[in-house]
Amino acid sequence: MRAVDTAEVLFLVDNATDSLSSNPDFVETEFARHRRRGMRWLSGKCLCCAAHGLSCLITTRTRSASRTLLFDTGPEEWVFERNVVRLGVDLGDVGAVMLSHGHWDHGGAMPRALQMITMGNGGQPVPTYMHPDMFALRATKSGEGQFRPMELVPSVDVLSGNGADVIVTRDEQLLFDETFYVSGEIPRVTRFERGFPGQYRQTAAGSWEPDEIMPDERFVAINVAGKGQVVFTACSHAGLINVLMHARARFQDIPLYGVFGGFHLSGITEPIIPETVEALAQFDLQLISPGHCTGWRAVSALAAAYGERVVPAAVGKTFML
């Protein structure tokens, strides 16, 4: 994976909005971005909408090129489009889209996102990376034994009809002159990270089978010169520690610098917060940016353990590395 000179990470969708908390100098809040773009009056009519989901725009720059990847799109088109417009983002610069895994809160806005990208790029097809196992119907089970289905992610036909050049693969990929890494399936190594407890998937015959492991989840990584490897993990159903162990093993000559994303340490996975926080120490990360499904208990535990290295994500927030 080739190093880039700089990287910019803009959160288009996240569960939280927070422009009041203090931040390090390399972070710009949503309010600050609006003011920089000319906002004269602070008003709700200017602001983004927080929603349960995740979408971030990752832009890297080298001397010869600027490259942008859209990593997930959030739960639905209204939130995505509203936030993109209010943040003043030109999606025509997006060179590829990657869906991290097959859950509605990450892929629901994909058709509209692709429309907006192709309207900005002159109608050029957009390479869109998907895993073959993310298209099945998924569900959780109630205490009474009833299955509660989740919205499907958009099909290949729907994506293609909205401008995607769909690449369905289990294999890892190097994109944009080998400056972006899209992982393959993540090895499950730790004993305490169990995936998504209680999730099921529907088989071709219409029956339900356990689907806790979620092999379709993948992560993105970049290498920022002078810092190291920065990992983007949307939900960490594979386990945050498993994700980072795989990133470290895959690029042994590039030290880990930071991680962004949802760490899924809320709800049923809260019991593994202490083990996760303790295991994170082995990576000596300089930036830990929890968002989306991490949960407030885990964010508090991470902040207590790692101090100012923890900078939570929020909608409209930009990180400049």
For 249-262, what is each residue's pLDDT tens digit? 999 999 999 999 99
pLDDT at residue 145 is higher than 90 = no
Confidence band (pLDDT; 50, 70, 90) for 193? very high
Backbone angles phi, psi at 93, to 5 degrees: -85, -5
Are the C-beta atoms of residues 276 and 302 closer than 8 Å to each other?
no
pLDDT at residue 282 is higher than 90 = yes
pLDDT at 144: 87
Residue 181 CA to residue 176 CA, distance in Å, equals: 9
What are 74-99's pLDDT values in tens digits? Answer: 999 999 999 999 999 999 999 999 99
Sign of the torsion angle spanned by Cα atoms 219, 188, 102, 276: negative
Q: Which helix (H) or strand (E) holds 63?
A: none
Output the CA–CA distances (angstroms, integers) from residue 186 to 124, 180, 248, in the order listed: 31, 17, 12
Provide CB contacts within 8 A for 99, sequence distance 6+.
Answer: 72, 73, 106, 107, 110, 128, 129, 130, 131, 134, 153
Provide CB contacts within 8 A for 143, sequence distance 6+.
Answer: none
Residue 149 CA to residue 125 CA, distance in Å, equals: 32
Q: Is 83 exposed, middle or buried (0-12, 13-18, 19+ CB in 10 A)?
A: buried
Are the C-beta atoms of residues 61 and 93 closer than 8 Å to each other?
no
Instruction: Enter the DSSP assignment of 283.
Output: G
pLDDT at 113: 98
pLDDT at residue 11 is higher than 90 = yes
pLDDT at residue 101 is higher than 90 = yes
What are 212-246's pLDDT values in tens digits? Answer: 999 999 999 999 999 999 999 999 999 999 999 99
pLDDT at residue 108 is higher than 90 = yes
What are 287-313's pLDDT values in tens digits? Answer: 999 999 999 999 999 999 999 999 999
Q: Percentage of the chain with pLDDT > 70?
A: 100
Segments making up each domain of the chain, as ranges: 6-320
Are the C-beta atoms of residues 5 and 62 closer than 8 Å to each other?
yes
Query: Residues 281-289: what's their mean pLDDT?
Result: 98
Confidence band (pLDDT; 50, 70, 90) for 143? confident
Output the CA–CA distances (angstroms, integers) from residue 237 to 61, 100, 226, in the order listed: 30, 10, 30
Q: Hey, what are 96's tokens?
A: 């590829």
Q: Hey, what are 240's tokens?
A: 């945050």
What are 30-41's pLDDT values in tens digits? Answer: 999 999 999 889
Q: Hey, what are 127's tokens?
A: 């390479």
Question: Comparing C-alpha atoms, which of 317, 321, 319 is closest to residue 31?
Answer: 317
More confident residue, 271 or 64: 271
pLDDT at residue 7 is higher than 90 = yes
Are the C-beta atoms of residues 14 and 61 closer than 8 Å to each other?
no
| Superfamily holding 6-320 | Ribonuclease Z/Hydroxyacylglutathione hydrolase-like (3.60.15.10)
Question: Comparing C-alpha atoms, which of 315, 236, 232, 228 is closest to residue 272?
Answer: 236
